[in-house]
Chain A
Amino acid sequence: MSIERYSYDVVVIGAGGAGLRAAVEAREAGFKVAIICKSLFGKAHTVMAEGGIAAAMGNANSSDNWQVHFRDTMRGGKFLNNWRMAELHAKESPERVWELEMWGALFDRTKEGKISQRNFGGHEYPRLAHVGDRTGLELIRTMQQRIVALQQQDGKNNGDMESHIRVFAEVTITDVLVENGKAAGVYGYRREDGSEILFEAGAVVLATGGIGKSFKVTSNSWEGTGDGHALALRAGGKLIDMEFVQFHPTGMVWPPSVRGILVTESVRGDGGVLTNSEGRRFMFDYIPEVFKDKYADTEAEADRWYKDQANNRRPPELLPRDEVARAINSEVKAGRGSPHGGVFLDVSKRLPAEEIKRRLPSMWHQFKELADVDITEQPMEVGPTCHYVMGGVQVEPDTAAAVGLQGLFAAGEVAGGMHGSNRLGGNSLSDLLVFGRRAGMGAVAYLKGNAAKPTLSEGTIKRAQERLNEPFTNTGGENPYTIHQELQQTTNDLVGIIRTKKELEESLEKLAKFRERIKNVSVSGGREFNPGFHLALDLENMLLVSECMARSALIREESRGGHTREDFPKMDSKWRQVNNVSSVEGASVNCVQERAKMLPDELAGLFEKSELAKYFTEDELAGVKGGSN
């Protein structure tokens, strides 16, 4: 079969917020960019983000600034965050939001006509720029339209709208090609006709999003199969801290077909309360020690906070997501759940019906049309759903360059480090733009310093071609759908929200068996738009990612953020010093421990010593020069 061949300066894999922002940056520096979408252009998972984009613009409360945002992010991640990424993110988010506005985004406004900002879990001040509850749609459409605007400029300048940016929709990349230790291109296939496609590239940016499809209950679409994670591993990159998986506390639980679909945190930000089957606002029973001084301990104070934030502490419904998800899980396990195995979330008593429809239009629509529930009158039933992976490709913070392979960059959910052990709501959209741009800049700087594009050898291309075609060469093997369902059940049961040594070991045994089964998976039908064929390729990625998660989770003997061990229920300062780094050697996942970097004094000085003492060892604390007492 002939291979369609292209040559670009930068190939961006993924067309969500991070990928598109990287592409814009590389194009503005004059380079030629290919954007590869797994689905149609504009359908990436970014579109599902609801609540908003966190940026310390200080529009709603002028006390907000990057230092406060940085502190909130570090607290949310329980201090395992790559501090430099958290710093860059907090500093640069406002510029990225304003830039979106310059490109046509229309955010909701404050009375003064500025961009409105709403409350969210873990953020000290109202910080999320938003458009109702469809902020992700606004972000992706704006980026999409920015790409078109640049294409129109290119059309004017040189008569070809696709001279510098071309979007390849419904193309799946199966390998990052490596030549002489450098990323040199990518290989994949076009879904429309099954034809094979090869891109030579000076630099490759991974912006492929998450891994949710490895789990049974997830808010992720079919695309979230850990493609970029697996591409990086196979090409020589590394993943850090893959044990940290965010279970969003509020997914729909009924009807079964929508189980896992996201219910935005804005419902709680706008006053929604969580109750159990006894009618108790149970979150008051789950405020952890580290947050005791920041959250209200009576319903009266929590209720007052919605009107007067200066003199009251926040309601515990707005604790970071990991805390709320664990609390819901415990209530359901204790037999105090709702009829369909969740808990109740009610905003109808806080706001008038019209206000709910205005602030939460897509939630109203979603529950009305899919569950026959009118959220302006009735409570919703909600429960945890696999939403986001904090772990990901290990990168250099300033350039988003992947550790372990020159010429490879990663941004957005596929990259690790920024969010530590738990991501705050709203920090994802800002992450996409801040590090999408930085990945674009990183690729540009790399290209400028490496004049010669590596030449791809026939052997490298042939290996990629063989791997792609494997599912068709097997006959009589298993159906990929069956294996996928069983894999999802296994990760859900054994590497889920609460973990134990025994279950994690069992998961690794099971995953090893899946590896054998996947080797023989076979597909029926032809190459044209064949979802079974696609799933067969995705399975390998999901399996690889699941192995990394299970191995890292087994090694980390503590509970922190999105990693909860029933057998090690406490957070342990010694483990804050550790990053679990996964790589692939041959066919097996190898996970080693690296020392996490310590905060520099000027950033440590932003916290009170008494707070740092909750996270750092005594030795570390003694070495901190800054810090107020």
Chain B
Amino acid sequence: MARPIKLRIWRGNKDGGDFHTVTVDANEGEVVLDVIHRVQATQLPDLAVRWNCKAGKCGSCSMEINGKPRLACMTRMNSFEEGETITVTPLRAFPVIRDLVTDVSFNYKKAMEIPAYAPPANLKPGEARMEQIDVERSQEFRKCIECFLCQDTCHVIRDHEENKKSFAGPRFFIRIAELDMHPLDTLRNRKQTAQENHGLGMCNITKCCTEVCPEHIRITDNAIIPMKERVVDVKYDPVRWLGSKIRKREDIS
């Protein structure tokens, strides 16, 4: 049942590091995280890795497996070729803390910058009425488990540290889209602020974020593109452009 596999693990910290290759048994049905745990328990007790639920629900065990952003708990060992060496590295878009663990605080800072849900002032608890079909659009985005794989893969920040300041990233574009499509949210201009304050315009819709999303959220098609279209619509429509100059700013709805 058990077969030995070669695992090439990046080990180090903010000052640098190197690859460390180990041979470890993999059993039937296992995932990469199981194998990493076995390395921890039997060979490298201080190997740093994040994990929690081990069922693809919490988004903690994000790393790069053979160069691809993946959840280690959802990457089956039988998805690799017999005899293939598996390389595991920390997320590249974020600073390394140690081994496979990175400092993802960037994402929590961005989360604090997105204006919160704003229910109607006169809405009383228990009185909200919404149709299932209307909540489903936002529900798709609320499936997000905050694994930050989309943030990691996005080239706007992956190799451009300088863009981080002005770019919130796909995870937060779906957060804005979710609030924007929330049937009861009252805050106007969410799309406009996505463009002006959160760097929506920097996204060049290569769909890499959608490809890596373990929840299969259609980030680009269902969140980013619809918001971009509406923003562009207002910006380049001459009548609305003029209107926005006269009336200071026009809402995009």
CB-CB under 8 A from B129, the residues of chain A are: 112-114
Bound Cα distance A98, B128 (Å): 9
> Which of the residues B56, B60, B112, B144 comes within 8 Å of A369, measured between beta carbons?
B56
State whether A43 touches B56 (Cβ < 8 A). no
**Interface: B135 (CB within 8 A):** yes
B179: chain A residues at CB < 8 Å are 104
List the B side residues contacting A485 at CB < 8 Å.
41
Bound Cα distance from A77 to B131, whole angstroms: 36
Q: Is B189 an interface residue (CB 8 A)?
A: no
Please tell me if A573 contacts chain B, counting CB pairs below 8 Å.
no
User: Which A residues touch B105, using CB under 8 A?
Assistant: 169
Interface of B is mostly: loop
**Shortest distance from the beta carbon of A213 to any chain B beta carbon, whole Å:** 12
Q: Which of B51, B60, B111, B126 contacts A148 (CB 8 A)?
A: B111
Contact between B27 and A256, CB atoms less than 8 A apart: yes
Contact A370 B112 (CB under 8 A): no
Contact B97 A528, beta carbon cutoff 8 Å: yes
Q: Give the distance in Å from the alpha carbon of A523 to the alpha carbon of B99 in the complex.
A: 17
Q: Is the CB of A223 within 8 A of B52?
A: yes
- Give Cα A415–Cα B139 distance, bound, in whole angstroms: 32
A530–B13 CA distance with the chains assembled, in angstroms: 12
Tally of A-B residue pairs with Cβ under 8 A? 176
Does B154 touch A at the CB level, under 8 Å? no
Residues A257 and B34 in contact, CB atoms below 8 Å apart = yes
* Binary contact readout B132-152 vs A (1 if CB under 8 angstroms, 0 otherwise): 100100110011111000000
Asked whether B125 lies within 8 Å of A48 as measured between CB atoms, the reply is no
On whether the beta carbons of B46 and A533 are closer than 8 Å, the reply is yes
Instruction: Report how far A521 CA is from B44 CA in the complex, Å.
Output: 16
Q: Are B45 and A532 in contact (CB under 8 A)?
A: yes
Q: Which of A261, A365, A523, A528 contacts B98 (CB 8 A)?
A: A528
Give B39-56 as 1s and 0s: 1 = Cβ < 8 Å from A's Cβ atoms. 011100111111111111
Nearest to B28 among chain A residues (CB) is: A255
A221 and B54 form a contact (CB under 8 A): yes
Q: Is the CB of B119 within 8 A of A102?
A: yes
With a 10 A CB-CB cut-off, give which of B51, B59, B129, B146 has the most chain A CB atoms: B146
Contacts A47-B57, A221-B58, A255-B30 hold; do A479 and B45 have CB atoms under 8 A apart? Answer: yes
Tell me the chain A residues, 96-132 only, with Cβ under 8 Å from chain B. Answer: 98-99, 101-104, 106-109, 112-114, 116, 131-132
CB pair B76–A369 under 8 Å, yes or no, is yes
Q: Is B213 an interface residue (CB 8 A)?
A: no
A230-256 CB mask vs B (1 if < 8 Å, else 0) is 000000000000000000000000111
Closest to B127 in A: A98
Q: Does B242 make an interface contact (CB < 8 A)?
A: no
Contact flags A116-152 to B (C-beta < 8 A → 1, else 0): 1000000000000001101001100100111011011
Chain A 29-71 interface 0/1 with B at a Cβ cutoff of 8 Å (1 = within): 0000000000111110101100000000100000000000000
B116 contacts A365, C-beta separation under 8 Å: no
- When chains A and B are docked, how far (Å) is the Cα of A528 from the Cα of B179? 38
Contact between B50 and A39, CB atoms less than 8 A apart: yes
Contact partner of A106 among B52, B76, B144, B182, CB < 8 A? B182
Residues of B within 8 Å of A57, CB to CB, are 126
Q: Is B115 an interface residue (CB 8 A)?
A: yes
Question: Would A131 and B116 count as touching, CB distance under 8 A?
Answer: no
CB pair B145–A94 under 8 Å, yes or no, is no
Q: State whether the Cβ of A577 lies closer than 8 Å to any Cβ in chain B.
A: no
A108 interface neighbour in B30, B111, B132, Cβ under 8 Å? B132
Asked if A288 lies at the interface with its beta carbon under 8 angstroms from chain B, I say no
B55 touches A40 (CB 8 A): no
- Contact: A148 with B116, CB < 8 Å? yes
Q: A108-B135, A112-B129, A481-B41 are in contact. Are A530 and B108 (CB under 8 A)?
A: no
Can you list 22 residue pairs at the A/B interface with Cβ under 8 Å? A45-B53, A47-B53, A57-B126, A98-B126, A101-B125, A101-B128, A106-B139, A106-B142, A109-B135, A138-B142, A145-B116, A148-B111, A192-B97, A221-B53, A257-B29, A257-B31, A257-B34, A258-B29, A362-B56, A481-B40, A531-B45, A531-B49
Give 3 closest A-B pairs by Cβ, nearest first.
A255-B29, A525-B46, A104-B117
Residues of A within 8 A of B (CB): 39-43, 45, 47-48, 57, 94-95, 98-99, 101-104, 106-109, 112-114, 116, 131-132, 134, 137-138, 141, 144-146, 148-149, 151-152, 161, 167, 169, 192, 221-223, 254-258, 261-262, 362, 365-366, 369-371, 479-482, 485, 523-526, 528-533
With A40-B50, A101-B128 known, 11 other A-B pairs at CB within 8 A are A47-B58, A103-B117, A104-B119, A109-B130, A132-B139, A152-B116, A221-B58, A370-B76, A371-B29, A479-B41, A531-B48
B interface, CB within 8 angstroms of A: 13, 27-31, 34, 40-42, 45-60, 74, 76, 97-99, 101, 103-105, 108, 111-112, 114-117, 119, 123, 125-126, 128-132, 135, 138-139, 142-146, 179, 182
